[in-house]
Copies of this chain bind each other. A is one copy, B any other.
Amino acid sequence: MEHTRIKELLKSEDFGKEVIVKGWVRTFRNNQFIAINDGSTINNIQAVIDFDNTSDAILKRITTGAAVRVKGNLVESMGKGQKVEIKATDVSIIGDSDPEKYPLQPKKHSLEFLREIAHLRFRTGTFNAIFKVRNALAFAVNKFFQERDFVYMHTPIITGSDAEGAGEMFRVTTLDLNNIPRTENGEIDFKEDFFGKSTNLTVSGQLEGELAALAFGNIYTFGPTFRAENSNTTRHLAEFWMIEPEMAFYELEDNMDLAEDLLKYVIRYALEQCPEEIEFLNNRLLEEEKSKPQNERSELNLIEKLNFVINNDFERVTYTEAIEILLRSKPNQKKQFKYLIENWGADLQSEHERFLVEKHFKKPVILTDYPREIKSFYMKQNPVDANGRQTVRAMDILFPGIGEMVGGSQREENLEKLITRMGEVGIPTEEMEWFLDTRRFGSVPHSGFGVGFERLVLFTTGMTNIRDVIPFPRTPNNAEF
């Protein structure tokens, strides 16, 4: 490899040294100054052309998007905002880019337009910054758990179980849709399908994670999960990555501590590893908000918001306390909520969560002990309280601008209670004997949670549409590239 990456060159002080750089032209000004980017950093290096030794034929081919090789000497830059530049002695074209056809022009493109050319948007500063932050967050997730001796488990993507109950599922099949095999009774004969039964894409690795936690103690998953829901919102994807730790002997408080530690750790890591990228995104957001009326702008800028989260305790509130706050709240009293809170037991809507997080507490909030009826069958049941209310040891972490970042709970470890609850909500136990075995043989208190990774990236980058923080988003009617 004869060339040096631009990230290294921009940090170098070896003035006079001969270097070779390879990258793509971002701009070419005055037939003299090439801004070159090789993806290693959001910053470009400037190469100054040696007129006498560069042919017109080459000059014409230095166009936005073209790949070039530049040899020259590293010199101190006279320009603003850059320490070094290259005094070029030799420029050659590696790959041309027809400026009439290249969709990325040296001007601001809308995020909507860039979504349509997602295969090229990585070549912009904004998306370079977003995916560098995403990369840092992903590594931080693994680093956090490895430092705590958690075992990374790859739970299955294709699942024969449809009892996870977390949402609509995608079918996985090799049956010929033009010639579906039938049993004698005329039903679809899934025995002929690849796995000999009906299979789907997983909505969560939790149940398999529990199996592993009750052997290894502490485990985590980090992999893709799927929801076949027709949600065309800025916060939903049909395919997204989820982090799901599961811990034996953890009770709800331990679970909340771990989740809070994780979120602070990974955001701090991104701030440390990607200071330039986050500053770039901070400025992008300030610029974007300039077009908004004053009262709709954020009180804190992106960097202030990230620092606020890592330096302050999350607010821990029970569902029951939250309902009291909401009942007394101005938007409820003045009937400004679309869904008015009328009594205990109501499911919280996005508007209520936002009120609690953004208006009332002004910080991340951990809501606990939800009514049993609005939560999943596997959550540990609290004793019925003096008012006859039945809650479960759930905990959701709500973030400003994002809503639910984490959903988790202590799990019901009592076999009888679990079977009874499954019966009540209509989950057949026969298909779940493997799951019930964890409560049958050496059952212990345990807990876990799931973090939507793209929501974490959304928060940390200050972006507002989840389609901009995953390389190739999958949403209803969209599976391009």
Contact partners of A312 in chain B: CB under 8 A: none
* A428 at the B interface (CB under 8 A): no
Q: Are B177 and A120 in touch, CB under 8 angstroms?
A: no
Residue among B177, B197, B472 making CB contact with A171, cutoff 8 Å? B177
Interface size of A in residues (CB-CB distance below 8 Å) = 105
Question: Copies per complex?
Answer: 2
Task: Tell me the complex Cα distance, A151–B146, Å.
Answer: 20
Q: Are B131 and A208 in touch, CB under 8 angstroms?
A: no
Q: A152-B138, A212-B471 are in contact. Are A174 and B171 (CB under 8 A)?
A: yes
CB-CB contacts below 8 Å: A66-119 with B: 66-67, 94-98, 101-102, 119
* Interface membership of chain A positions 408-442, coded 1 if the CB is closer than 8 angstroms to chain B and 0 otherwise: 00000100000000000000000000110111111
Q: Are B471 and A155 in touch, CB under 8 angstroms?
A: yes
Q: Which of A9-17, A215-223, A281-289, A370-378 contacts B (4 or more CB under 8 A)?
A: A215-223
Task: Tell me the complex Cα distance, A470–B241, Å.
Answer: 19
Contact partners of A280 in chain B: CB under 8 A: none
Q: Are A471 and B208 in touch, CB under 8 angstroms?
A: yes
Contact partners of A201 in chain B: CB under 8 A: 157-158, 172
Q: Are A156 and B474 in touch, CB under 8 angstroms?
A: yes
Contact partners of A7 in chain B: CB under 8 A: 149
Q: Are B174 and A177 in touch, CB under 8 angstroms?
A: no
* A477 at the B interface (CB under 8 A): yes
Task: Tell me the complex Cα distance, A128–B215, Å.
Answer: 8
Q: Are B474 and A158 in touch, CB under 8 angstroms?
A: yes
* Chain B residue nearest to A102 in the complex (CB): B441
CB-CB contacts below 8 Å: A105-156 with B: 119-120, 122-123, 127-128, 131-132, 134-135, 138-139, 142, 146, 149, 151-156
Contact partners of A476 in chain B: CB under 8 A: 194-196
* A264 at the B interface (CB under 8 A): no
Q: Are A158 and B434 in touch, CB under 8 angstroms?
A: no
* Interface membership of chain A positions 296-312, coded 1 if the CB is closer than 8 angstroms to chain B and 0 otherwise: 00000000000000000
